[in-house]
């Protein structure tokens, strides 16, 4: 099978079962909400409080416009069993964090932190980060201030806006993970 969208806009599925691409579009009239289409599956998602932005900056609340690849799945092994996915997977520990400081040489990378140190903690009391799909936004090259910690993760109960990520329900996440692989393109915008 080809690895592109057909004339109906749906993405063809690779023979291995992996999706070649998924698409995230904003909802009409509400830039903080959107729709994710993955083959025949279309699910509601929450977007960043700044909507989808072509010129993403650290702290602007925007979800970056562009084409990205998933890098790996992070999940809470203490709350859930490992989900089925083609992605590499890693259990979240209490020391796992993400560097959001543009002045730090580890900006927009995974870091290990002690309890007194900063960074966006991946192990949270709420359930938003129970499943995190890390994407390759601002990774090659990493540019200070162009945005960090942009993930696909679980949504709040009210589908409230994110700080720039794409969020969805747990059931939608698990369905998506079954078809997501490292070569899947994530097209936002």
| Cα distance between residue 77 and residue 95, in whole Å | 14
- In which region does residue 59 sit, left (phi positive, over 0), alpha (psi from -120 to 50) or beta (all else)? left
Fold classification of 21-188 (topology level): L,D-transpeptidase catalytic domain-like (2.40.440)
Summarised one tens digit per residue, pLDDT across range 98-114 is 999 999 999 999 999 88
All residues at 6 or more sequence positions from 143 whose CB lies less than 8 Å from its CB, including other chains:
none
- The domain ranges of the chain are 21-188
What is the value of pTM for the model shown?
A: 0.90
| Cα distance between residue 144 and residue 102, in whole Å | 5
Summarised one tens digit per residue, pLDDT across range 130-173 is 999 999 999 999 999 999 999 999 999 999 999 999 999 999 99
């Amino acid at each position: 099978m080809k690895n592109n969208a057909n004339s109906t806009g749906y993405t063809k599925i690779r023979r291995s079962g992996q999706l070649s691409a998924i698409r995230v579009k904003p909802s009409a009239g509400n830039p903080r909400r959107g729709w994710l289409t993955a083959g025949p599956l279309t699910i509601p998602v929450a977007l960043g409080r700044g909507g989808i932005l072509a010129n993403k900056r650290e702290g602007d609340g925007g979800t970056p416009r562009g084409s990205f690849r998933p890098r790996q799945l992070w999940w809470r092994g203490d709350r859930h069993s490992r989900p089925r996915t083609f992605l590499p997977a890693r259990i979240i520990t209490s020391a796992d964090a993400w560097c959001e400081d543009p002045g730090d040489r580890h900006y927009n990378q995974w870091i290990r932190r002690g309890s007194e140190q900063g960074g966006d903690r991946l192990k949270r009391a709420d359930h938003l980060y129970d499943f995190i799909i890390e994407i390759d936004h601002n990774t090659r090259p990493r540019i200070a201030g162009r945005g960090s910690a942009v993930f696909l993760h679980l949504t709040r109960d009210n589908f409230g806006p994110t700080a720039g990520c794409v969020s969805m329900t747990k059931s939608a996440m698990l369905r998506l993970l079954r078809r997501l692989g490292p070569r899947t393109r994530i097209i936002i915008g």
